[in-house]
Structure 1
Amino acid sequence: MEVRQFLLRQEGGEQVSGVGGLPGQRSGHAEAPRVSDDQVRRARIAVASGAADAEDCAQLLDMLGLTPDEDGNLPAQR
């Protein structure tokens, strides 16, 4: 799930488009909205609050692209 859509869902914002409430596939990187630093921060907080323990939190953050890669870039913000 895209971080932006996750955050909107947590805040009661826009409805997620797609089949059965699932997000649609991105058509291209040029059209994809950028994920802001604030959205990343809020997503990390949401993940941490719902995680069972530190290992669970680390795995979830990695799956969502919220942990920096070798170059220090977040996959969620590419």
Structure 2
Amino acid sequence: MSGSLEVRQFLMQQDSSSSGDVPMQRNGDVSRVSDDQVRRARLSVAGSSLDAEDCARLLDMLGLLPGEDGVPPAQR
């Protein structure tokens, strides 16, 4: 029990010390996911996947595969 109390106290300290601001993209357009972000996300998913089928399924679930228009849903 004392471990969970220590964790809660630590989290409360972190919450009180953070400003609560959500970081914005550097270009200021918060609705657009950049090509570089999609590329890095794809690499991250590929590195964590069990095989090609698993990778394709995860990329599809995350909206990182190009749609019919050639644009991934994450970038729409």
Please classify the TM superposition score into its range, dividing by the shorter chain length.
0.5 to 0.7
What is the count of residue pairs matched by the alignment?
A: 50
Moved over 4 A (4+): none
The CA RMSD over aligned residues, in Å, is: 2.0
Aligned to 1:55: 53
More helix by share: 2
Residue 71 of structure 1 and its aligned partner are, at CA, apart by 1.2
Aligned to 1:68: 66
Q: Which structure 2 segments of 5+ residues have no match?
A: 1-19, 23-28
- TM (norm. structure 2) is 0.59
Q: Which structure 1 segments of 5+ residues have no match?
A: 1-14, 18-30
Q: Deviations 1:28-78 (Å, cap 9, x if unpaired)?
A: xxx853110000000000000000000000000000000011111110001
Report percent identity of matched pairs.
Answer: 68
- 1:60 maps to a residue whose letter is L
Alignment of 1:1-78 (within 5 A): 32-78=30-76
The structure having more radius of gyration, on CA atoms, is: 2
Find the residue that maps to 1:65 and give its secondary structure: coil
- TM (norm. structure 1) is 0.58
Aligned to 1:8: none
